[in-house]
């Protein structure tokens, strides 16, 4: 559709001996919150890597991915690097591996801030960068920013690390934020905070969201529209409310029934 | 009748690293007890103590009315016959070089259980819903859910009285998780189970009693239905409120 921020058409990802994702099509409008649901091996994370042009070389993409009007598949690395800053940024499951263990958190956030300011021809001096880092820390609601910018990743909690990773993604001012299982490694109370934070931020900043998770209930809280994947194929796409209450496909129905069973157990109906 | 009881149990991994404080609860024979807690709650340490891998520094653990003697090899031999465990990761808990038959019957050999081990392994593997030819194959030939079934078969082959499960369905995909929870439910009808998990939904589905741990202390314990309906402690309340729920509305499946 014209005007979409991300359009994926007939995407197939394959290694020489295996098809991993087959004939996948979906689109995300500017500012839309889109959920990708799938169990392990469904191809959901590969799809997000394809969108950012980060597939490993052994995986060959076919089809088309347009992001902010530019084709990703076959694009030269130089253009992909620019787009990864400008158009799309990703938050991964495990913030500990996404962060540099030997660099204070403040400097890690400052990196993408400085690159963006330079790219846009704005003042990228020390004071300007520090100001932006401060604003980002407030946006992701990190307590004690003074202490935090001097801390190393291992010195803060998992939830705080994920907030730092979100701040780094926002530092790029992307038009699409990809969150790939961003709460799976977190405790349930922290998960609830991070889910609220991501939802509020993309809403306030008008950023589109591609939220990837195996957890139907979490996706239901975040996304307006969802796609269910299985074995590299799209099974069902539709409004989140509809897919999670009145699914059409039999596989989606079995997933929804399973999720609702644990929900009901919590309501005291085991 | 009480199968296991913990009385004022405390444990620290060194000075200033106290992980369990004044833990008391009982596991009635035939019950399913859930130990619920987030990371740092002390639930894994508590499980280690209940398995006899460590001894409490304060208080004591009674099994079948007698103290659990974790440092007594002779006692532990008998204890392992009566208490078995299922762990979280079915990929690391099965020896990849051994056939399933050898893996499942291992407790029978090491515990010197008399009888036809092959036949007992066949019965155990059948009771977890796998076919007998499973026993001649290797772990890598099975999916995560199947491996967890194999781990459960190994846990029940020596007919223990108590099975301790540590996050035993957490690593499984949702559709597999539901089926393995069903299997645990079936098995629990024949024995006592303690189910350690961070996942309140799974515990709610499986356990009639629940112990909620926070930072090494019990904040709430009692009948699962009662705690879910009317949580007393602020921590339990926030835990329950944090669990994401499916969207409401008329459901058609």
Instruction: Establish if A196 touches chain B: CB-CB under 8 angstroms.
Output: no
Phi, psi of A24 (to 5 degrees): -95, 130
Instruction: Establish if A96 touches chain B: CB-CB under 8 angstroms.
Output: no
The 3-state DSSP class for residue B253 equals: coil
Closest CA to B146 of B106, B90, B227, B211: B90
* Cβ–Cβ gap B173/A214 under 8 Å: yes
Report which secondary-structure segment, H or E, holds A198: helix A188-205
* Cβ–Cβ gap A217/B252 under 8 Å: no
The first and second tokens of residue B168, run together, are 């035993």
Rounded to 5°, the CA angle A102-A103-A106 comes to: 155
**Taking 60 as the threshold, does the pLDDT of residue B5 lie above it?**
yes
Instruction: Establish if B171 touches chain A: CB-CB under 8 angstroms.
Output: no
C-alpha to C-alpha distance for B239 and B38, rounded to whole angstroms = 9
Percent of chain B at pLDDT exceeding 90: 84
- What digits encode the pLDDT tens for the residues B212-221? 999 999 999 9
- What digits encode the pLDDT tens for the residues A135-160? 999 999 998 888 999 999 999 999 99
- What digits encode the pLDDT tens for the residues A26-44? 999 999 999 999 998 899 9
DSSP result, B107-154: HHHHTT--S-HHHHHHHHHHHTT--GGGGGS-GGGS-HHHHHHHHHHH
- What digits encode the pLDDT tens for the residues A219-264? 999 999 999 999 999 999 999 999 999 999 999 999 999 999 999 9
Round the CA-based radius of gyration of chain A to a whole number and report it. 19
The 3-state DSSP class for residue B216 equals: coil
C-alpha to C-alpha distance for B22 and B16, rounded to whole angstroms = 16
Q: From the CA of B3, how many Å to the nearest CA of chain A?
A: 24
* Cα B125 to chain centroid, rounded: 19
The domain limits of chain B are: 2-242
Report which secondary-structure segment, H or E, holds A33: strand A33-38
Mean pLDDT, rounded, of chain A = 94
Please tell me the predicted confidence (pLDDT) of residue B172.
87
How many contacts (CB atoms, under 8 Å) link A and B?
A: 104
C-alpha to C-alpha distance for B39 and B190, rounded to whole angstroms = 31
Residues 6+ apart with CB under 8 A from A38: A44, A212, A214, A228, A229, A230
Please tell me the predicted confidence (pLDDT) of residue A98.
83
| Res. A270 pLDDT band, cuts 50 70 90 | low
Which ipTM value was assigned to this complex? 0.85
User: Among A47-51, A58-62, A66-70, B93-97, which stretch is predicted with the lowest mean pLDDT?
Assistant: B93-97
Q: Under a CB-based contact definition with an 8 Å cutoff, are residues B106 and B154 in contact?
A: yes
* Cβ–Cβ gap A244/B238 under 8 Å: no
**Taking 70 as the threshold, does the pLDDT of residue B23 lie above it?**
yes
Instruction: Establish if B116 touches chain A: CB-CB under 8 angstroms.
Output: no
Specify whether the backbone of B112 is left (phi greater than 0), alpha (psi in -120 to 50) or beta.
left
C-alpha to C-alpha distance for A203 and A200, rounded to whole angstroms = 5
Please tell me the predicted confidence (pLDDT) of residue B59.
97
Q: From the CA of A198, how many Å to the nearest CA of chain B?
A: 15
**Taking 90 as the threshold, does the pLDDT of residue B253 lie above it?**
no
Could you tell me which CATH number the domain at B2-242 has? Answer: 3.40.50.300
* Cβ–Cβ gap A39/B240 under 8 Å: no
Total length of chain B? 253
C-alpha to C-alpha distance for B142 and B80, rounded to whole angstroms = 27
C-alpha to C-alpha distance for B200 and B185, rounded to whole angstroms = 16
- What digits encode the pLDDT tens for the residues A201-224? 999 999 999 999 999 999 999 999
**Taking 80 as the threshold, does the pLDDT of residue B78 lie above it?**
yes
Of A191, A217, A246, nearest to B245 by CB-CB distance is A217
> Which among B44, B189, B244, B245 is the top mutation candidate for probing chain A, defined by the most A β-carbons within 10 Å of its own β-carbon?
B244
Q: From the CA of B86, how many Å to the nearest CA of chain A?
A: 21
Q: Which domains does chain A have, with CATH numbers?
A: 6-266 (3.40.50.300)
Instruction: Establish if B242 touches chain A: CB-CB under 8 angstroms.
Output: yes
**Taking 80 as the threshold, does the pLDDT of residue A1 lie above it?**
no
Report which secondary-structure segment, H or E, holds A62: strand A60-67
C-alpha to C-alpha distance for A228 and A97, rounded to whole angstroms = 27
Paired with B35 in beta bridges are B196, B211
Mean pLDDT, rounded, of chain B = 94
Of B200, B228, B247, nearest to A240 by CB-CB distance is B247
The first and second tokens of residue A234, run together, are 């799209």
**Taking 60 as the threshold, does the pLDDT of residue A2 lie above it?**
no
Round the CA-based radius of gyration of chain B to a whole number and report it. 19
The first and second tokens of residue B152, run together, are 């459960």
Q: How many CB atoms lie within 10 A of CB B207?
A: 26
The 3-state DSSP class for residue A109 equals: helix
B121-127 mean pLDDT: 94
């Amino acid at each position: 559709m014209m005007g979409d921020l991300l359009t994926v058409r007939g995407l197939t990802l394959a290694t020489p001996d295996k098809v991993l994702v087959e004939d996948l099509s979906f689109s995300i409008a500017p500012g839309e919150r889109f959920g990708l649901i799938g169990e392990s091996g469904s191809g959901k994370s590969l799809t997000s890597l394809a969108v950012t042009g980060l597939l490993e070389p052994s995986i060959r993409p076919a089809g088309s991915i347009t992001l902010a009007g530019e084709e990703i598949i076959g694009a030269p690395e130089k253009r992909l690097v620019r787009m990864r800053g400008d158009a799309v940024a990703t938050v991964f499951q495990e913030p500990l591996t996404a962060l540099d263990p030997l660099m204070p958190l403040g400097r890690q956030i400052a990196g993408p801030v400085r690159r963006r300011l330079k790219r846009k021809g704005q003042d990228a001096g020390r004071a300007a960068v520090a100001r932006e880092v401060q604003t980002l820390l407030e946006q992701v609601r990190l307590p004690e920013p003074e202490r935090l910018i001097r801390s190393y990743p291992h010195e803060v909690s998992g939830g705080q690390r994920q907030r730092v990773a979100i701040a780094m993604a926002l530092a790029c001012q992307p038009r699409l934020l990809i969150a790939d299982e961003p709460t799976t490694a977190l405790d349930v109370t922290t998960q609830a905070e991070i889910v609220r934070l991501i939802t509020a931020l993309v809403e306030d900043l008008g950023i589109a969201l591609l939220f990837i998770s195996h957890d139907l209930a979490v996706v239901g809280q975040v996304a307006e529209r969802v796609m269910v994947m299985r074995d590299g194929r799209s099974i069902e796409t539709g409004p989140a409310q509809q897919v999670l209450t009145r699914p059409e496909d039999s596989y989606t129905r079995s997933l929804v029934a399973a999720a609702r069973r644990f929900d009901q157990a919590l309501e005291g109906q085991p | 009748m009480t199968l296991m009881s913990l009385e004022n149990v405390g444990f620290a991994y060194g000075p200033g690293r106290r992980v369990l404080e004044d833990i008391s609860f009982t596991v009635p024979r035939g019950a399913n007890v859930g130990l619920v807690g987030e990371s740092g709650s002390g639930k894994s340490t508590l499980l280690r103590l209940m398995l006899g891998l460590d001894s409490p520094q304060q208080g004591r653990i009674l099994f079948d009315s007698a103290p659990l003697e974790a440092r007594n090899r002779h006692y532990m031999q008998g204890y392992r016959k009566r208490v078995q465990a299922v762990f979280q990761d079915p990929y690391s808990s099965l020896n990849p070089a051994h056939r399933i038959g050898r893996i499942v019957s291992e407790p029978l050999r090491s515990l010197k259980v008399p009888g036809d081990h092959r036949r007992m392994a066949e019965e155990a593997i059948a009771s977890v819903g796998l076919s007998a030819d499973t026993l001649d194959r290797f772990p890598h030939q099975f999916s995560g859910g199947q491996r967890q079934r194999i781990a459960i078969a190994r846990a029940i082959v020596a007919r223990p009285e108590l099975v301790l499960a540590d996050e035993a369905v957490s690593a499984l995909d949702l559709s597999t998780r539901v089926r393995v929870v069903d299997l645990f439910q079936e098995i629990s009808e024949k024995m006592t189970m303690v189910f350690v998990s961070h996942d309140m939904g799974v515990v709610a589905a499986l356990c009639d009693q629940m112990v909620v741990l926070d930072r090494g202390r019990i904040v709430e314990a009692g009948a699962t239905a009662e705690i879910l309906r009317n949580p007393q402690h602020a921590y339990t309340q926030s835990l329950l409120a944090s669990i994401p729920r499916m969207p409401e509305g008329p459901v058609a499946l």
